[in-house]
């Protein structure tokens, strides 16, 4: 039951890393949305493997087929099923782990929970599943664009190397112009070297992805349990390798006093005859108050651990409980954050699209 | 629809800060659980206001009534409804904000989203709603105890003052012996002074609550979207004033290399004729791999911002869009973390109880 | 998990027949609805016991308290909790069945499923639970009224005595003017005698309730699984003692040919400058095509079995598997349909309110 | 959101009649179930078009592909995605209805609800969608078989021609030996002629499908809203062309008195040292009491209207509101019930599989 996300804009993903393919059903996308297949393909391409020497060398075209829900270029209000065939599985790379538990992978927990597991490439626990999220997230982005919402994520930290600039100080569009997806070109270059050095050592390293959503109107998000930031948090934490989430002032906000942390309101004068707009002087709230968007930029940060697969020997045990040495094989990213950028955006889009639709239900 | 949490062990909370009362329905608690009312009351008492001079002086007995679902001391598999009457509302304290938006509160967003709001004490957005969660969480704890699971939270940071010890180095039970709920008595004393100083200045300050769950067997948690840590994250982020969540190595894990971050497996010899048990040498995973518990301790950290209500004047606007000065009134906590400890535990218990039940469905 | 109904307009009921009370949380009612407490009370009064000598003599005022969700006479978009205290329990009437299974009751199945049961008055399986549905349904009716939707149910059959008129031939409002709730006064009188005769014999008898919803616009209902009539069917079948449901031409439609059964479309001329409206010449569809309302009257029929409790001795077994004779005690209705009328309406209102809200999500 | 059914054993179907294909994701099937592809194919073949001259002549192999969730012949606890390609679309047959609303079809309601519709073969509203249900239902049957549950449906009425025997008087397996799927060979022959005559007239006719589930243990089904028969009712009513549902004594039970209708309990002696078993002398309850199975046979009846598509001219209107004559084209069944038999079974299996799993959660 846990491969489904969303309340109204609801997605169900399926597929294993080395099975016939992966895909997603979107059940709850409203009718009448122009279905831009080029855009969806472009988003998948941003996530696909083999983009540079610091990403996995698995070669997947990640082309998708629309199985249902679209007619004459428009969504029909019926389930949209998207299928991405797997084409470059090398399952034999995984024969050696059929009986072994790779450290800090899901091998052991899946085996105990389910009594068996598709060990080829991690099966369902593989990050390959996120391609389906990116496809669905692209549809969510199309819906959000109509509402004037834009989402942009970028890499703000690799290992100990931090970007050290607020998002407001940079042109975030530059993130797409380098392999690391850091909007500061100089830092991006240093991050690339950092990751490449780690790769050469057969090791891996963590990183942080920041994300900003602009244009979200006041009122999106639900009180109590489904607060906008709670759903964003769950969505981010559901991405493979994520260890932490914070929004607005985050963990650093803890150290402040209320008198400096509070975001005071003021009226921004409207242009011409337009009425003024309620704004906040600062934005420690990260655009969310009481779980509901307040019209300011929404921003948050997501921490990714070092990828568990490394090209080094590690101690472990096998399914019989005997000690073994696990050797790194397969094709993997030494650092997940460059390819995580579109995934973070996709999950943010899915949350926001759901909240946009749910907000239609707030008043009689 | 957003006042409901859980998939199997499902709770729905209701109630406003200054309405007749608050409460919860638990729909999905299995039959046959001994219903320990004393324990539930004790948990509510841990959260209730007026515990010391560093908590709000509102006086609520927070006594609860069982409206349904329990017969002859046992749960019946039917909905358990618990009601806590409000007794010490001072709604007149809030007349001044009927027309004003308090900075960093939910006043503005609720007003825009719903077209009106119960301004008395924040209405539904008040942290008073968490009493219902603590009541439900206590029932979840009863269920978890039967499975050998214990949950203990504590305060690890107040403002800039950090505890600086791992949970493994302390006797966590000591947390309940001081007003701050920090298990290190000396640090607790300093934190108390810190908060009291902030209080005297009419200000507020943030903090961090750490939480540890022990005894969770392998296999709890679901893959993909409902990963155990994703649900814990959502649950924590749904608590008022929370700005961040991390588990295991968290944000700090970002800086590590895979070779040092990975938790290698080994076999812990069983006592006597018992079989050995698969363990990890380290626990950067925080007891969760691939979203599923691996049998090690689960631990995570939750960041709380400074309470938005302060006893100082602040700039703001009113419902007509005119500038106003908001003056702090009402009875509030200068720092939320001491009373947040049982709330964090309650939410963790709700997540784990749900995952325990869901895991019954994993295999034929 | 099964005491919750609805997707957007979601209700959770709680309470046992002889516990402290019964009630409901409505989570998903939009903000801004005028909350007419008198109307809700009036609906509860229509269902309450003790209305005439052909209904149970249990005396319950069935007065309700609003615990949350309403402020200054309006819904707030937050959960609306309603509580009805039980006041006239006579649990000692049920001591004799603590160990016995009453024929055609839920005693045996609850006992096996849950390992225990609240035997007093049937506990959770008592039709007393439907009071909570009627309260929630009254709120749904308030929401539907705003949309111009009216719902009217009535008794069309008692035992072998059939009304034999189509709803279009009668003034349905007359149903409320007699104890049986049959809109044909003469038939009502005969039905009253029928039921009273059965009552005197210590027996019970079944009946049928018809229901008509007028003013439903085109487009309510969802394709595939949540078809409008499928949800109506589930809602009706969830009422105690219901054995069958049909809508439009129903079971009789089976015998027809497509050429006579199909509802041909035509254009009804609009008044003045108004555009014409698409109508059907006949309405065998019962106002629903493809699971979606087509603007015609929605009508359906619900079959109720004879009440299981009778004032006669019956063979049965006890919890130890020994044969016993069950004697009828307690206060019960000899025929459930007169009091079922407001319950049928309430469930129809809950379905339609949910579909009204869901339809807001159909298009971008 | 409405293409999803089930609470634990959850299915999401997708696909249009003339799109690339149709399919289903099963999210919630437990791990460790032997996945019998032959059996699933066999079930699809029972439903597929072109079986005899009284079914539609559309030629679909209805072969399915397993996209995920199965490894080494066993379910993995991960989503099972099944895809059936459409191969014999003749969309040009439908050009004429792009602008017309066929009487008693979903054309008009879809058009108004969604603002557009895939008119080719009815798009999503086509009964072709039920192939996905049959595939998923076959998996549910595999799960149920392990529990000793068997489901058998059959045709009991075509037009005015009624079978007139109780299911206990026949060998239900004979239903599969004729094109009508009626277990009484003589009646089957008469039904075949009946349907064939109707077909020759270019007309259609309705029918009734009866269904029996044997071997269901005590305790399946949930109280209150998700009663076993309420879910069965919803499931059946969600099938195209269904107008009514009844279980156990159904509509006829209305006419009885409680003293004759009640099912008295007795103890059936166990074989040898086995304990006796609680049974009912009669089974008017249809195997369900209080919404929960009582161990007796579950049986119910489902009414299907005459198929809306007929080979005759009918009055209607077009999308511009102008009168038109709709001519019957395309390939259609003159009577839906023979092919509805496996669909009814599939939906029953889905309900029962869900209830089987939910019942695992009833007790601590």
Predicted confidence (pLDDT) per residue in A234-256, tens digit: 999 999 999 999 999 999 999 99
CA distance D7 to chain B (A): 9
Which of C8, C31, C223 lies at the smallest CB-CB distance from A363? C31
Mean pLDDT of chain C: 95
Q: Are strands B242-247 and A242-247 parallel, antiparallel or unpaired?
A: antiparallel
pLDDT value of position C93? 67
> Running DSSP on this structure, what letter comes out for residue D22?
E
Contacts of C89 (CB under 8 A, 6+ apart): C17, C18, C120, C121
- Structure-model confidence comparison of residues C169 and B51, the more confident one: C169
pLDDT value of position B332? 81
Write down the residue that tokens 């895939």 correspond to: D118
Tokens linked to C157? 């059959």
Tokens linked to C108? 């045996």
Strand partners, C66: C82
User: What ipTM was predicted for this assembly?
Assistant: 0.97
Distance in angstroms (rounded) separating the CA atoms of residues A103 and A100: 9
Chain D residues inside the 8 Å CB shell of C208: 251, 254
Q: Are B81 and C124 in contact (CB under 8 A)?
A: no
Which of A227, A235, A314 lies at the smallest CB-CB distance from B262? A314
Distance in angstroms (rounded) separating the CA atoms of residues D228 and D292: 6
Identify the CA nearest to D78 among candidates A115, B105, A38: A115
Strand partners, A293: A288
Chains with at least 3 CB pairs less than 8 angstroms from chain C: A, B, D
Greatest C-alpha distance within chain D: 76
Identify the CA nearest to D303 among candidates D356, D241, D357: D241
Distance in angstroms (rounded) separating the CA atoms of residues A263 and A261: 6
Strand partners, C163: none
Does residue A272 carry a pLDDT above 70?
Answer: yes
Is residue A309 less than 8 Å (CB to CB) from chain B? yes
Contacts of B148 (CB under 8 A, 6+ apart): B215, B217
Identify the CA nearest to A11 among candidates A122, A143, A106: A143
Confidence of residue B1 (pLDDT cuts 50, 70, 90): low
pLDDT value of position A248? 98
Percent share of chain C, pLDDT over 70: 98
Q: On the CB side of B167, how many CA atoms lie within 13 Å of its CA?
A: 23
Is residue B279 part of an annotated ligand binding site? no
The answer to whether the Cβ–Cβ distance between D115 and A83 falls below 8 Å is: no
Q: Are C52 and B117 in contact (CB under 8 A)?
A: no
Is residue C23 less than 8 Å (CB to CB) from chain B? yes
Does residue A270 carry a pLDDT above 70?
Answer: yes
Dihedral (C-alpha) C180, C186, C192, C193: value to the nearest 10 degrees? -170
Burial class (CB in 10 A: 0-12, 13-18, 19+), C279: middle
CA distance D218 to chain B (A): 16
Through-space distance between the first and last CA atoms of chain B, rounded to whole angstroms: 32
Chain B residues inside the 8 Å CB shell of C128: none
Is residue C148 less than 8 Å (CB to CB) from chain A? no
Confidence of residue A148 (pLDDT cuts 50, 70, 90): very high
Mean pLDDT of chain D: 95
Residue C77's SS3 state is coil
- Under 8 Å CB pairs connecting chains B and C tally to 149
Distance in angstroms (rounded) separating the CA atoms of residues C265 and C289: 12
Can you point out the beta strands (E) in chain D?
A: 4-5, 10-15, 21-27, 64-68, 70-71, 74-75, 80-85, 150-158, 161-162, 207-214, 242-247, 265-268, 277-280, 288-289, 292-293, 298-304, 314-317, 323-326
Is residue C12 less than 8 Å (CB to CB) from chain B? yes
Q: How far is CA A178 from CA A186, A337, A338, in A?
A: 10, 13, 9
Burial class (CB in 10 A: 0-12, 13-18, 19+), C147: middle
The answer to whether the Cβ–Cβ distance between C19 and B116 falls below 8 Å is: no
Confidence of residue D52 (pLDDT cuts 50, 70, 90): confident
Angle between helices C228-237 and D228-237 (to 10 degrees): 160
Strand partners, C11: C5, C26
Which of A125, A306, A362 lies at the smallest CB-CB distance from B257? A306
pLDDT single digits (tens) A116-128: 999 988 899 999 9
Query: What H or E segment, with its residue span, contains residue A315?
Result: strand A314-317
Distance in angstroms (rounded) separating the CA atoms of residues D243 and C301: 11
pLDDT value of position B137? 98
Does residue D19 carry a pLDDT above 70?
Answer: yes
- Domains of chain A are 4-248+285-359 (3.60.150.10)
Chain D residues inside the 8 Å CB shell of C256: 159, 205-206, 305-306
Distance in angstroms (rounded) separating the CA atoms of residues C246 and C210: 10
Q: Binding site for FMN: which residues of D?
A: 124-126, 240-241, 290, 305-309, 331
Residue D287: phi and psi, rounded to 5, are: 80, 10
Angle (CA) D352-D282-D350 rounded to 5° is 10
Q: Are D175 and D181 in contact (CB under 8 A)?
A: yes
Tokens linked to C141? 């009716």
What number is the average pLDDT over the span D335-347? 97
What number is the average pLDDT over the span A141-167? 98
Q: How far is CA A236 from CA A166, B244, B266, B293, in A?
A: 20, 12, 30, 19
Long-range contacts of A56-65 (CB under 8 A, 24+ apart): A56/A331, A56/A332, A56/A333, A57/A331, A58/A88, A58/A90, A58/A331, A59/A87, A59/A88, A60/A86, A60/A87, A60/A88, A60/A131, A61/A87, A62/A131, A64/A23, A64/A40, A64/A135, A65/D20
pLDDT value of position C244? 98
Taking CA–CA distances from D24, the nearest residue in chain A reads A25
Distance in angstroms (rounded) separating the CA atoms of residues C64 and C59: 15
What number is the average pLDDT over the span D341-353? 98
Is residue B361 less than 8 Å (CB to CB) from chain D? yes
The answer to whether the Cβ–Cβ distance between A20 and D79 falls below 8 Å is: no
Best residue of B71, B110, B123 to probe chain C, by most C CBs closer than 10 Å: B71
Is residue A240 part of an annotated ligand binding site? yes
Distance in angstroms (rounded) separating the CA atoms of residues D255 and B224: 53
What number is the average pLDDT over the span D313-341? 91
pLDDT value of position D91? 65
Chain D residues inside the 8 Å CB shell of A21: 67-68
Between A45-49, A198-202, B210-214, D355-359, the lowest mean confidence (pLDDT) is in: A45-49
Tokens linked to A284? 């420690």
Q: What is the 3-state secondary structure (H, E, C) of chain B?
A: CCCEECCCCEEEEEECCCCCEEEEEEECCCECCECCHHHHHHHHHHHCCCCCCCCCCCCCCCCEEEEECEECCEECCCCEEEEEECCCCCHHHHHHHCCECCCCCCHHHHHHHHCCCCCHHHHHHCHHHHHHHHHHHHHHHHHHHHCCCEEEEEEEEECCEECCCCHHHCCHHHHHHCCCCCCCHHHHHHHHHHHHHHHHCCCCECEEEEEEEECCCCCCCCCHHHCHHHHHHHHHHCCCCEEEEEECCHHHHCCCEHHHHCCCEEEECCCCCCCCEEEECCCCCCCEECCEECCCCEEEEEEECCCCCCCCCEEEEECCCCEEEECCCCCCCCCCHHHHHHHHHHHHHHHHHHHHHHHCCCEC
Is residue C308 part of an annotated ligand binding site? yes
Does residue A90 carry a pLDDT above 90?
Answer: no
pLDDT single digits (tens) A330-348: 678 899 999 999 999 999 9
What number is the average pLDDT over the span B184-210? 97
Is residue B223 less than 8 Å (CB to CB) from chain D? yes
Is residue C269 less than 8 Å (CB to CB) from chain A? no
> Running DSSP on this structure, what letter comes out for residue D321?
S
String of b and e for A294-307 (b: at least 16 CB within 10 Å)? bbbbbbbbbbbbbb
Tokens linked to B88? 């010490």
Chain D residues inside the 8 Å CB shell of A86: none
The answer to whether the Cβ–Cβ distance between A244 and B245 falls below 8 Å is: yes
- Under 8 Å CB pairs connecting chains A and C tally to 42
Which of A14, A27, A65 lies at the smallest CB-CB distance from D69? A14
Angle between helices B130-146 and B37-47 (to 10 degrees): 140
> Running DSSP on this structure, what letter comes out for residue C182?
-
């Amino acid at each position: 039951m846990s491969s489904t996300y969303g309340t109204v804009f609801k997605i169900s993903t399926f597929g294993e890393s080395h099975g016939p393919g992966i895909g997603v059903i979107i059940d709850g996308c409203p009718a009448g949305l122009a279905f831009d297949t080029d855009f969806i393909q472009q988003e998948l391409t941003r996530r696909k493997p083999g983009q540079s020497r610091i990403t996995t060398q698995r070669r997947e075209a990640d082309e998708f087929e629309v199985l249902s829900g679209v007619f004459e270029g428009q969504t029909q209000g019926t389930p949209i099923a998207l299928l991405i065939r797997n084409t470059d599985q090398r399952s034999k790379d995984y024969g050696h782990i059929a009986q072994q538990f790779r450290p800090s992978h899901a091998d052991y927990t899946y085996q105990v929970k389910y009594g068996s597991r598709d060990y080829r490439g991690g099966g369902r626990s593989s990050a390959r599943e996120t391609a389906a999220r990116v496809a669905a997230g692209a549809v969510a982005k199309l819906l959000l664009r109509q509402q004037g919402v834009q989402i942009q994520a970028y890499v703000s930290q690799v290992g100990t190397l931090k970007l050290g600039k607020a998002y407001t100080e940079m042109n975030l569009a530059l993130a797409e112009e380098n392999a690391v997806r850091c909007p500061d070109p100089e830092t991006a270059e240093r991050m690339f070297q950092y990751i490449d050095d780690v790769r050469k050592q057969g090791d891996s390293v963590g990183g942080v992805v920041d994300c900003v959503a602009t244009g979200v109107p006041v009122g999106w998000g639900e009180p109590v349990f489904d607060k906008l930031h709670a759903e964003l948090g769950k969505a981010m934490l559901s991405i493979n390798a994520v260890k932490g989430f914070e929004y607005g002032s985050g963990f650093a906000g803890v150290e402040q006093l209320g008198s400096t942390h509070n975001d005071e309101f003021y009226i921004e004068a409207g242009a011409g005859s337009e009425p003024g707009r309620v704004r906040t002087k600062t934005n420690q709230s990260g655009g969310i108050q009481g779980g509901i968007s307040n019209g300011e930029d929404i921003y948050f940060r997501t921490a990714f651990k070092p990828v568990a697969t490394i090209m080094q020997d590690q101690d472990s045990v096998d399914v019989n409980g005997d000690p073994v040495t696990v050797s790194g094989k397969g094709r993997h990213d030494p650092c997940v954050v460059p390819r995580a950028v579109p995934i973070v955006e996709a999950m943010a889009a899915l949350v926001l699209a759901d909240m946009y639709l749910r907000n239609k239900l707030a008043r009689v």
